[in-house]
Structure 1
Amino acid sequence: MTKLTPQQCIILTGFTGILHGEFEWFHADLEKRLAREVQTSELGYPEFMDQCKALYEGDFSALMPD
């Protein structure tokens, strides 16, 4: 079995809302994608998490095998 890469963990976390890998990886990537600081409390808002899911949807789809 092949282990997930850090980037794959970030994508899975962003799309599913379930932490895969290190929180710091995801948090840094999310701030980069949003081009702003993200307070951890924001992650508790369903509306915000829906926005996050949309940010990662294309990358998540790209993980699927051909």
Structure 2
Amino acid sequence: MSKLTQQQCIILTGFTGILHGEFEWFYADLERRLGRDVQTSELGYPEFMAECKALYEQDFNDLMPD
């Protein structure tokens, strides 16, 4: 079995809300996708996390094998 890549860890974190890999990887990618700075306290709001999940949904689906 091969290990997850950094990008795969970021996608899994964004979609599931469960940290995979380093927090800094996810945080930087999330800010890039949103186009703004993110306060860590925002991660505690269910509405914000639902928005994050939507940002990563297509990438998560693309991880599935054919």
- Fold in common (TM above 0.5): yes
User: When the two structures are superposed, what TM-score results if normalisation uses the length of structure 2?
Assistant: 0.99
How many pairs were matched up?
Answer: 66
Question: 1:52 Cα deviation (Å)?
Answer: 0.1
Structure 1 residues 12-43: Cα deviation after superposition (integer angstroms, max 9, x where no partner): 00000000000000000000000000010000
Superposed, which structure 2 residues align to 1:1-66 within 5 Å?
A: 1-66=1-66
User: When the two structures are superposed, what TM-score results if normalisation uses the length of structure 1?
Assistant: 0.99
Amino acid at match of 1:45: Y
Q: For residues 30 and 49 of structure 1, what CA distance do their matches in structure 2 show?
A: 11
- Unaligned stretches of 5+ in structure 1? none
Deviating beyond 2 angstroms after TM superposition, the runs of 4 or more aligned structure 1 residues are none
- Unaligned stretches of 5+ in structure 2? none
